[in-house]
Structure 1
Amino acid sequence: MAHVKQVASTTQKPYSGLSRSLVIAIDVGTTFSGVSYSILEPGEIPKIYGVTRFPGQEHVAGNSKIPSVIYYDKDGTIMATGAEADSSFITAQAEDDGWIKAELFKLRLRPRTMQLNMNGMRLSPLPRGKSPVQVFGDYLGYLYNCTRSFISDTHANGIALWNSVEQDIQFVLSHPNGWEGPQQTRMRKAAVYGRLVPDTDAGRARIRFVTEGEASLHACVINGLANDVLSNPSKHGFLIADAGGGTLDISSYAIKGTAPLVIEEIAPPDCIFAGSVFVSRRAREFLEEKLKYSKYGSADSLDHITRKFDETTKRLFRDRNELQFIPFGSPLDKDAAVGIRNGQLRLTGNEVANLFEPSVDAAVNAIKAQIEGSKGMIRSVFLVGGYAASPWLFSQLQERLAPHHITVNRPDAQTSKAVADGAVGFYCDHYVSARMSKFMYGVEFLRELDPKDPDHIARKEKLCELPSGPKLLPDAFDCILARSVKVKESTVFTRKYCTELTNLSMLSVFEVEIWCYRGGNVVPKWINRGDDAFSTLCVVQADLSLLNGSAEPKAGKNGKKYWTIVFSVEIHFGLTEFKARIKWMDNVSFKNVKPF
């Protein structure tokens, strides 16, 4: 029987559901992934377990991390996944048979607005006919099957247990702080593709989302890592820095109550591409230049030496004043001209420090920005995630943040699976009651022409006239929620609008576009459709044809009939997943549609 790790916490609440349920949290990381779960029994405090056995990793007791890698053959058939794909046997077979290795595929889901600096290196191509969503789905499906096997094998009556909950398993998928609605939609499609849930409204509703920053916060609470903060709740805030393979996710919080525990976000969360994989990419580029005139400069040798750098030097590096070595070969491997002796490549401490520098510098700047965003409330930083294990990252953050009177702590527990554990905690306990808006959100409206305003005159070629007569300018921005506003989960933003229609058939496909503005704190007057600062957050659609019977026609300026339709746009911003809907009046009773 495999070792099953569980975590429990005095802050956790008993499960309030009426029947047994299972929640599975899947943390697909850029380089490594993990799964945690909880069997929820009515009235009992949930225990969180980690999946600690995966195929190809049986020899490593209690390992809860699995490489985010899939091998496909040329036709797109899966040949090996996870730990199995990392074995020397599979690597050799892949080379012989021309298999395609899909790795770092999570980065392909990133928002268009998040620039990815790969130092000139490209993400390797995906197999023919496979989209990023399908690769993500294949990987989710693999982790789901591993979880089913693990639960069936390790729990008493495991198969019967699984069969009793299988049709209603709740899933929590974690994602970087910078991922938004479109990325959540793609992840939900991936979950359907990977057969976690059926392609129905009820099936898709079983997929929930949490940011990696918020999941890490819950892990800190569950593991008692934030006890010093919890035991002395003051007006001081704290910051969770989740340093992973691809992203550094930064979230800032303050405790607003302890019985029950209530936590609020105190600055808009941040997400930057400053994970450990970029240290490795810079190392590969550096080694390519250093060894280009050596027999060790071939692509295969460079891949091997970079891999050894990842496994040893990168993890252990702690002092820029000491010589560093990458052990990669046998005593017969030597090339004095490039510093290779006894199968080891010698580097100076400064050379290795320089490989870390861009990600360390970006992390420090992002944390400083959060401190400013929280108006100086932050006093401590908790560093979690796989990259948190780097002594150099930890010591540099301590050193560079000390002048700002910030203490940096690194929890002793296994931080690499904090996100998966915390995602289960998020589902069960939901400690965060308010979040800060990251951007500005609003809708387009028609602004009345002011003939004395030069800004209006410059737009007059776009002028349109409503049937009732007023001359109006399109593309005006009506801000519903500004940036850096604290929004409670229960808060609903409602704005009332009216429109004039000359044809009632338009009611059946009525829609409102919700806009997101990322350009700062000043509310823009107009939507600039060519500007990257503006993007469509979602389109809310409704069938308002029920109003056909009650809408009263009016005579327009030119005698043409028109109808005035009054409706409200209702938006839930304080949740981890954005929701919006349209409400309208029909013979004085409110109707609404589901969020689209």
Structure 2
Amino acid sequence: MTDTRKPYNGGRRGLVLAFDVGTTFSGVSYAILEPGEVPKIHGVTRFPGQEHVAGNSKIPTIMYYDLEGHMRAAGAEADTPSIHDLAEDEGWMKAELFKLRLRPKTMKLNMNGMRLPPLPHGRSAVDIFGDFLGYLFRCTRAFIIDTHANGKPLWNAVESHLQLVLSHPNGWEGAQQTKMRRAAVRGGLIPDTDEGRSRIRFVTEGEASLHACVLNGLANEMLQNPSGHGFIVADAGGGTLDISSYVVRDTSPLVMEEVAPPDCVFAGSVFVSRRAREFLEDKLRDSKYGKPDSLDHITRRFDETTKRLFRDRKELQYIQFGSPLDKDLSVGIRHGQLKLTGNEVAALFEPSIEAAVHSIRRQIETAKGAVKSVWLVGGFAASTWLFTQLQERLASDGLVVSRPDSQTSKAVADGAIGFYCDHHVSARMSKHMYGVEFLREFDERNSDHLSRRDRMCELPSGPKLLADAFDCILRRSAKVKESTVFTRKYCTEVTSLSTLSVFEVEIWCYRGIDNSVPQWIKRGSEDFSTLCVVQADLSPLASSAQPKQGRGGRTYWTIVFSVEIHFGLTEFKARIKWVDNVSFLFAAQTAACV
């Protein structure tokens, strides 16, 4: 669908790289930006350790660290027998599933009794993420230089202004984006400067997958006859299932809008594997094959074969893991293979399938009938069992579930480039409520106010006010276009102008299920959290602020300002705006996410 893409209108040659660091597998795509030409998407299809596999665009998201905490092997190289032997001899630690450690605290992770692997000595999750990004970046640089006829001059010409797109699950927010930026600095992708950090853009995996669907033709029928019907993009990956709902608003140019806040659940293929590991541990407990090393090997073979091929709960299933001499009839092992019933394997998939169906139905309800079809993409979409079960269970909802014939495991990386170049989504839906704390005037006749007397304060001008009141600036499920700005005006009173130099406002996020705006911020509650802190230097106002006399003869100054929220893109931004001598000034956009 390159006919939907416009020529690059930049004034100089550029290069945009998209990194899809998945829970279990990762990939990179890129586009060379030539002024006046339509960008073409390329994939990095050659990584160290995979030279023998033509066109392989994904590598395992794993690394090995030595006892001092230095990275020694990564990706496909780290998954070779020679590295396994060396790691065992040298005592190296394997780093895997580290992406899950970056998740928001509000996203609960059920590991079915198993814990995430420990981190290497002296390394945080951001450090590990940064090391892996750095590895992907070096592989990408080598691939571009070696693959393109003018590779070296090309890289030298664009290296100082590379544009980067990092994809992340739908449920990740500003705090996770901040961590990913820090990881990109650690990995050497960008310098630790404002200019360097500005070269990174973020896109949700759901929206990246939408652009991939457009690229590979899955959306052709919808684009030819949009008729106002919406569709769901279900990106089933290793860790998360990212659900996003859209409608086509225009086809020339292609414009789409979100019609429901995107969802994200931990229901990816890795959790099927985790359940399999737990099941096998219980089944083989009294067998000589129940030792940890044997269980790890059998689980790995389940991942590579049985899990991928399973399609019928009525048929017996086998995990081929050993030689013809491996035998233990008491647990169903004969000729080096473990026999399982179809129902046993289906049970390992069931929680993930139930979570997917529940999330999709929630999207249908929120979209109010606009959704008519589901596009299943991502690495887990290759599972025939997942695909057929979604088809069967969602048929009663009038949904048609389809998946592309082509491989979609690298859909997110390609789609992230499509997001950068094409920008098809013009409006998104806010997932939560966003606002600030303000002071509410105390009413002694209100019992709720009386119960909060310990939070009462008095302004210099006299009024008695209660802290912790919540003022909503952006409500949940609001349609937000990229140009839309949500703003509210506030005022504060200060008794010292010196405080203006370090003025800051907290942006609060309310995640509760109640759609009514809460009256008060409940500190310590999971429903409320500080999304970011906007800092501004308001000291220029000191020269024009007029002093006033308050109660008891105290001098104070009234400061008027506005808080603006920009939520039209996939990255949340907030800023403070004020007026000084009839000129608008803006605070530095330091959304210091926490």
Common fold: TM-score over 0.5: yes
d(CA) in 2 for partners of 1:181, 1:150? 32
3-state DSSP class of the match of 1:469? coil
**1:3 corresponds to which residue?**
none
What SS class does the counterpart of residue 269 from structure 1 fall into?
Answer: strand
Matched-pair contact (CA < 8 Å) for 1:12–1:222 = no
**2:563 alignment partner in structure 1:** 569
Aligned to 2:421: 428
Equivalent of residue 544 in structure 1, options 534, 538, 543: 538
Q: Which residue number corresponds to residue 319 of structure 2?
A: 326
Find the residue that maps to 2:233 and give its secondary structure. Answer: strand
Question: 5 Å matches for 1:340-489?
Answer: 340-489=333-482
The correspondence for 2:516, drawn from 522, 529, 538, is 522
Q: How many Å separate the matches in 2 of 1:541 and 1:157?
A: 45
In structure 2, what is the equivalent of residue 589 of structure 1?
583
Counterpart of 1:4 in structure 2 is none
Matched to 2:111, the amino acid is M
The correspondence for 2:331, drawn from 329, 338, 349, is 338
Q: Distance in 1 between matches of 2:579 and 2:494?
A: 16
Q: TM-score, normalised by structure 2?
A: 0.99
The amino acid that maps onto 1:532 is E
The answer to which of 447-456 and 303-312 deviates more is: 447-456
Please tell me the residue identity of whatever aligns with 2:361.
Answer: K
Alignment of 1:66-77 (within 5 A): 66-77=59-70
Please report the TM-score for the alignment, with normalisation by the length of structure 1.
0.98
Deviation of 1:78 (Å): 1.1
Which residue in 2 is equivalent to 1:255?
248
Distance in 2 separating the partners of 1:573 and 1:516: 13
The yes-or-no answer on 1:91 pairing with 2:84 is: yes
CA distance in 2, matches of 1:291, 1:510: 62
1:463 and 1:165 mapped to 2: Cα distance? 57
The answer on whether the counterparts of 1:323 and 1:347 sit within 8 Å (CA) in structure 2 is: yes
Whether 2:322 is the aligned partner of 1:312: answer no
Report the 3-state secondary structure (helix = DSSP H, G, I; strand = E; otherwise coil) of the residue aligned with 1:215. helix
- 2:93 paired residue among 88, 100, 105: 100
Check whether the contact 1:263–1:434 (CA below 8 A) recurs between aligned residues.
yes
- Mapping for residues 143-182 of structure 1, pairs under 5 Å: 143-182=136-175
Letter in 1 for 2:471: D
Q: Residues 53 and 64 of structure 1 are in contact (CA less than 8 Å); yes or no, is this contact kept in structure 2?
A: yes
- Show CA shifts across 1:318-347 (max 9, x none): 000000000000100010000001100000
Deviation at 1:367, TM superposition (A): 0.4
Question: Displacement, 1:458?
Answer: 0.9
**Structure 1 residue 164 displacement after superposition:** 0.6
* 1:13-64 deviation per Cα after TM superposition (whole angstroms, max 9, x unaligned): 1111111100000000000000000001111111000000000000000000
Q: Which blocks of at least 5 consecutive residues in structure 1 are unaligned?
A: 1-7
Match of 2:554 in 1: 560
2:273 maps to 280
Q: Which residue of 2 aligns with 1:234?
A: 227
Q: How many Å separate the matches in 1 of 2:225 and 2:492?
A: 54
CA deviation profile, 1:362-421 (whole Å, cap 9, x unmatched): 000000000001001110000000000000000000000000110000111220000000
Q: CA deviation at 1:594?
A: 2.3
Please state if 1:578 is matched with 2:572: yes
Would you identify which runs of 4 or more consecutive aligned residues in structure 1 move more than 3 Å? none
Query: d(CA) in 2 for partners of 1:381 and 1:13?
Result: 28
2:51 partner SS: coil
Identity %: 74
Secondary structure at 1:101's aligned position in 2? strand
Q: Partner amino acid for 1:304?
A: H
Aligned to 1:191: 184
Q: What secondary structure sits across from 1:271 in the alignment?
A: strand
Is the CA contact 1:71–1:94 (under 8 Å) kept in the aligned structure 2? yes
Q: Distance in 2 between matches of 1:251 and 1:462?
A: 41
Q: Which residue of 1 aligns with 2:284?
A: 291
SS in structure 1 of the partner of residue 73 of structure 2: strand
Deviations 1:438-493 (A, max 9, x none): 00011111111112111111111211111001111111110101101101010011
Report the 3-state secondary structure (helix = DSSP H, G, I; strand = E; otherwise coil) of the residue aligned with 1:505. helix
What amino acid does structure 2 have at the position aligned with 1:141? G
Helix, strand or coil: the match of 2:3?
Answer: coil
User: What's the secondary structure of 1:416's corresponding residue?
Assistant: coil
Name the structure 1 match of 2:72: 79
Aligned-residue offset at 1:547 = 1.3
CA contact (8 A) 1:11 1:222 kept: no
Asked if the contact 1:567–1:583 (Cα under 8 Å) also holds between the matched residues in 2, the reply is yes
User: What is the rounded CA distance, in whole Å, between the counterparts of 1:393 and 1:494 in structure 2?
Assistant: 44
Distance 1:280 1:95 in 2: 23
Larger mean Cα displacement after TM superposition, 531-540 or 449-458: 449-458
Question: How big is the shift at 1:590?
Answer: 1.2
Q: 2:205 aligned with 1:223, yes or no?
A: no
Whole-angstrom CA distance in 1 between matches of 2:375 and 2:588: 39
Partner amino acid, structure 2, of 1:496:
K
Q: Which runs of 5+ in 2 are unaligned?
A: none
